[in-house]
């Protein structure tokens, strides 16, 4: 008997709408930060996604729910970057490029502004859980670097995440992205294996 796909279609459409809404929200928050707009509205996100406000509310009943979903997706995408970077680069080079991805992620969080801070204050989103998730993603990268001799074998992913977060936080006050890049280079230099390394960045 041929399989009936009718029941699956609404779920597929709903998933596409959800993805469009999250993409529209990401673009709207970025545009708001660039133009100085104080708040991104749900109506604005729905229009940009090309759906009705009712469709948005079915997926995200509040602005906070939308921001939470977007935040969690950003974390997952950042974690997924580890695998794609490892597929294209040597582990130490992949680590340095991931640091830049992390800096981009932090900028995206700033675009969410007060809405994200409200979620943090309410305990819905916690820095500790996010760092734990990021450290888990980095573990494979560090293991790969230890195996091929480009990274120290004694590196702990949670320590590395803390160092990267500290550098980003310090340069957010003064120094900017140029200084951030130099400090990331220092972090990488400390992470590289010293004895018999002989490897150069590609």
Taking the domains of the chain in order of start, what are their residue ranges? 1-61, 63-202
**DSSP code at position 38:** S
Residue 153 has pLDDT above 50, yes or no: yes
Domain 63-202: give its CATH architecture: Orthogonal Bundle (1.10)
Residue 97 to residue 174: CA distance in whole angstroms: 22
Of the candidate ranges 20-34, 105-119, 126-140, 170-184, the one whose mean pLDDT is the lowest: 105-119
Residue 129 to residue 107: CA distance in whole angstroms: 19
Average pLDDT rounded to a whole number, residues 1-23: 72
Residue 110 to residue 91: CA distance in whole angstroms: 29
Class in CATH terms, 1-61: mainly alpha
Can you say whether the dihedral through the CA atoms of 108, 114, 120, 124 is positive or negative? negative
What is the reported pLDDT for 9?
A: 55
- Helices and strands (DSSP H and E) totals, the chain: 8, 0
| Three-point CA angle 121, 124, 125, nearest 5° | 80
* Conformational region of residue 113, where left means phi above 0, alpha means psi within -120 to 50, and beta covers everything else: left
What is the reported pLDDT for 195?
A: 58
What is the reported pLDDT for 127?
A: 78
Q: Closest Cα to residue 159, out of 192, 189, 134?
A: 134
Of the candidate ranges 3-7, 71-75, 153-157, 193-197, the one whose mean pLDDT is the lowest: 3-7
What is the reported pLDDT for 3?
A: 47
Residue 2 has pLDDT above 50, yes or no: no
Give me the percent of the chain exceeding a pLDDT of 90: 52
Q: Does residue 21 or residue 110 have the better pLDDT?
A: 21
pLDDT band of 148, cuts 50, 70, 90: very high
């Amino acid at each position: 008997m041929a399989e009936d796909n009718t029941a699956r279609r609404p779920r597929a459409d709903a998933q596409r709408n959800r993805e469009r809404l999250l993409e529209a929200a990401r673009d709207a928050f970025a545009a708001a930060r660039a133009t100085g707009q104080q708040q991104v509205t749900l109506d604005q996100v729905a229009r940009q996604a090309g759906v009705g406000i009712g469709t948005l509310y079915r997926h995200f009943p509040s602005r906070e729910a939308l921001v939470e979903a977007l935040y969690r997706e950003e974390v997952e995408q950042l974690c997924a970057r580890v695998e794609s970077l490892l597929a294209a680069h040597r582990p130490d080079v992949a680590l340095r490029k991931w640091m830049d991805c992390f800096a981009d992620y932090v900028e995206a969080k700033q675009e969410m502004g007060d809405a994200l801070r409200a979620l943090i204050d309410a305990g819905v989103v916690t820095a500790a859980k996010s760092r734990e998730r990021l450290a888990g993603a980095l573990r494979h990268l560090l293991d790969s670097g230890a195996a091929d001799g480009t990274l120290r074998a004694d590196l702990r992913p949670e320590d590395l995440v803390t160092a990267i977060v500290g550098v980003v936080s310090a340069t957010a006050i003064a120094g900017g992205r140029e200084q951030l890049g130099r400090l990331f280079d220092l972090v990488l230099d400390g992470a590289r294996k010293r004895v018999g390394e002989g490897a150069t960045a590609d």
